Chains A and B, each alone.
Chain A
Amino acid sequence: MSLLTMIVKMSEGLGKTCAIFFLTLLFALPLGMIVALLRMSKIKVVSAVTRFFITILRGTPLMLQLLAVTYGPYYLFGTTVARNKLVPVVIAFAINYAAYFAEIYRGGIESISVGQYEAAEVLGYTKLQTFLRIILPQVVKRIMPSVTNEVVTLVKDTSMAFTVSYQEMFTIGKQIANSQTSFMPFVVAGVFYYVFNAVVDYVMGRIEKRLDYYR
């Protein structure tokens, strides 16, 4: 198999790689905020339970979580989550990344001084107005570097979908590597991820720059 054929075949999986990537962000970014708020809840049971789930999601391999969500339901209930494997894959990724984002959000929210809340309170902002208008915009700016880190990791983590044989770029590459006994598909995959992340870096850099109008 020529290098060009490999590249073409692997490119066919890029759509699925992108699907995992974008869908995970779409769900994990807001879900992480919900988890962060639950984690910071004044109700002790809520924050303790949330904390426990976060430790599980961060303390066990993503690969295991992928297997659990994809095949677990079959062993437990004799059925699968959905016929399309993208569904369990995205569920596993979204939940896992939400746990990480939640901790980043929490760090960001807790770094805003109490005085900002107090200033808003005295000026008559409601709790929701204070959070959405005063706190959240400042949090977003502060956590951007950490979020970029996670997003870059996510690009590479999409390759993990090979464990459940979801036909994204890396899975296809691995299959070609096996059948052709060639290392080239991995080199191609490496280049793909590198370029993907170069784009991610550029985009995140632009966002950070746009938030640069204040300090």
Chain B
Amino acid sequence: MAEESILSIRSLQKSFDSLTVLQDISLSVERGNVISVIGPSGSGKSTLLRCATFLETADGGDILYDGQYALRDGVYAPKAELSRFRTRFGLVFQNFQLFPHYSVMKNVTEAPVLHGEDREEVRERGLELLKKMGLEGKENAYPYQLSGGQQQRVAIARALAMRPEILFFDEPTSALDPELTGEVLKVIRQLAEEKMTMVVVTHEMPFARAVSNRVIFMAGGVIVEQGDPLQVFDDPQEERTRQFLRVFER
């Protein structure tokens, strides 16, 4: 039986003025899989995530969630439909983007409450998620009182509180020092074990290798190579991939 694709992207195109940042990108994400996207800066990894989450407008191609078109041949679905698609995914930013004037709890629970969910139910879910993120007892803290690693874990809880089918991470540890990176990667790993569907743009190669079901290597706005992590890391087929990975062999 074919695996069910939560997200399919086909021939995605994106340019900023005359600069092409995404060229003919196609990929699909199956339920329960973890996809890591690696590649040098400016390769289009983040733009790909931003297109998938509608923060950036693609110029051409298709984006489908659960087989339904959000973008078809460069034309977006109506606004109301896009809002419905938004409830299917969550996004974790490089620099957390917590709301500084909200307590940890409110950061996590406000969005679902605004979507009409029961306040008490959401609160319980929030407490559970925070516990899972190792943030028990931090409900009433404000973001500035937390370390970067804790803030990022709040951001993950906030995304999960919306119960997304797929979670995107845009370099979730790039703003953290190595010690804090570990604690964030640990919770992502834990989510992977629970079969959360995730797409992770990352520079953490050992993590990508250990946790992903598939690794995508991007450079210059195209997918140069993709496949099983062991194959991509240990036996890359493309010279560009080898060149990139050599930097990490030190």
Contacts and interface: CB of A to CB of B under 8 A. Distances in A.
Interface of A: 113, 115-116, 118-125, 129, 133-134, 137-138, 141, 213-215
Interface residues of B, number: 26
A214 B95 contact: no
Given A115-B95, A122-B86, A214 B114 contact: no
B217 interface: no
A138 B97 CA distance: 13
Contacts of A118: 55, 93, 97
A5 B110 CA distance: 60
21 contacts: A115-B93, A116-B97, A116-B99, A118-B97, A119-B93, A119-B97, A121-B55, A122-B53, A122-B89, A122-B90, A123-B90, A123-B159, A123-B162, A124-B83, A125-B111, A129-B114, A134-B99, A138-B101, A214-B101, A214-B143, A215-B142
A125 B87 CA distance: 11
A116 B55 CA distance: 12
B115 interface: yes
A215 B146 CA distance: 12
Which one of B93, B111, B144 has the highest number of Cβ atoms from chain A below 10 Å of its Cβ? B111
A137 B95 contact: no
B114 A124 contact: yes
Contacts of B143: 214
B142 A214 contact: yes
Contacts of B93: 115, 118-119
B250 to A, nearest CB: 32
B134 interface: no
A141 B101 contact: yes
A124 B97 contact: no
Contact of B97 (A115, A129, A214, A215): A115
B100 interface: yes
A121 B143 CA distance: 19
A138 B101 CA distance: 7
A116 B158 CA distance: 14
A125 to B, nearest CB: 7
Given A122-B90, A138-B101, 12 more contacts: A113-B97, A115-B95, A119-B93, A119-B97, A122-B86, A123-B158, A124-B83, A125-B114, A134-B99, A137-B101, A138-B100, A214-B142
Contacts of B142: 213-215
Contacts of B130: none
Contact of B144 (A123, A129, A215): A215
B113 to A, nearest CB: 11
Interface in B127-175: 142-144, 158-159, 162
B48 interface: no
A124 B53 CA distance: 11
Given A121-B55, A123-B162, A214-B143, A133 B100 contact: no
